[in-house]
Structure 1
């Protein structure tokens, strides 16, 4: 089975610099699994800092997006380095686009890419990657342990969801989608529509919980959120 991992920059560099323990742990989880993987890395705080700086210098939103995308590709290179060090058969370069991902995803244990074009979030990129390689499962790994109806970091009373339908997820995403580089979504609205059209089972877990990541990848029970019909 092919599984796509959408790994948020918040999991890769949670404090503004790479979390080597997370990268090594992620590589070991992938090595242990019998699945094949398409991996999409986000930019996280690095992307937000660069996007803000670009705007402060007078850059357009398109230009801010383009600068943020470079951060996602840097994180992709770090993921490749971790996988290679763990002995995982991996394409030794960042995949350029979705067509470019098809053959490497078949021939390797893992193929890794970052963001693609301005205006498209890495959430959406991850779902498009899943569609391109025929993945049956998508696992979103971030610094939040599940999907909530509002940001739990700012609202202690936020409602946590164990299961959601595609329609329910779409509603939540629509309420928080601002479509600007580096902003926080429950999961990007366009990405939600895409997983619904292709009926891709999607799991949302925290990068701090290794057991949840392992179980989500294998389609087993975990403490995060599962989205399906």
Structure 2
């Protein structure tokens, strides 16, 4: 089983928790994941609740370390909700360390994690998990593909269907603020990780079931492919 091809996924927390847990979306994503019949290494983000938790720490005068820790706790809750939706093949727990997750990949079809340590995004965590288990494909599920700007604020923002690693790094450089709950395409550490290990990355709208399935299977989709 260890030699079986794995696909890593970074599931945006906003899909599973946009202020409150979305059990329906967790169930929907789990169904799609199972339909692909692929072995999946999944890292789940925090979403709106994590951003609010981080902001609450800042308002109390706490440092970014504690803002990160508050957000990480929410990612664990979201990850466990997805684990439960996937059933027994996702094991009995989520993982908070890469070695434990890699070891579980020998016996489980699905390996699920939340955030790990302060200062590292769940996107970067997903890239590290991909490296740990030898996955050469990563699928980022959020609410968008990659654009030249924020499409919700700029109607002229261009959607990219294909990018080189260097181009993704350039885009990430403009928006990576290294603060819990801030938004950017894909942070610099994550970009560097997929570049150094030549991991092909797919960015698709997690609400589009056909795109999610096609991206996991390495087929054509309406999002962005990097690498």
TM-score tier by shorter-chain length is over 0.9
- What is the distance in 2 between the residues matched to 1:134 and 1:29? 23
2:56 corresponds to 1:53: yes
Q: Counterpart of 2:23?
A: 20
Q: Counterpart of 1:126?
A: 126
2:38 corresponds to 1:35: yes
Shift of residue 149 of structure 1?
Answer: 1.4
Q: Counterpart of 2:157?
A: 158
Q: Counterpart of 2:140?
A: 140
Check the 8 A contact 1:37/1:105 in 2, yes or no. Answer: no
Which 5+ residue runs of structure 1 have no aligned equivalent?
none
Q: Counterpart of 1:103?
A: 103
- What is the distance in 2 between the residues matched to 1:60 and 1:131? 30
- What is the distance in 1 between the residues matched to 2:111 and 2:57? 30
Q: Normalising by structure 2, report the TM-score.
A: 0.96
- What is the distance in 1 between the residues matched to 2:33 and 2:157? 32
Check the 8 A contact 1:203/1:226 in 2, yes or no. Answer: yes
Q: Normalising by structure 1, report the TM-score.
A: 0.95
Q: Counterpart of 1:177?
A: 176
Check the 8 A contact 1:10/1:142 in 2, yes or no. Answer: yes
- What is the distance in 2 between the residues matched to 1:79 and 1:46? 16
2:13 corresponds to 1:9: yes
2:62 corresponds to 1:63: no
Check the 8 A contact 1:4/1:138 in 2, yes or no. Answer: yes
Larger mean CA deviation between 28-37 and 127-136 belongs to 28-37
Which 5+ residue runs of structure 2 have no aligned equivalent?
none
> Residues 2-48 of structure 1, C-alpha deviation per residue, up to 9 Å, x if partnerless?
0011001011123x122223211211122122321110000010110
Moved over 6 A (4+): none
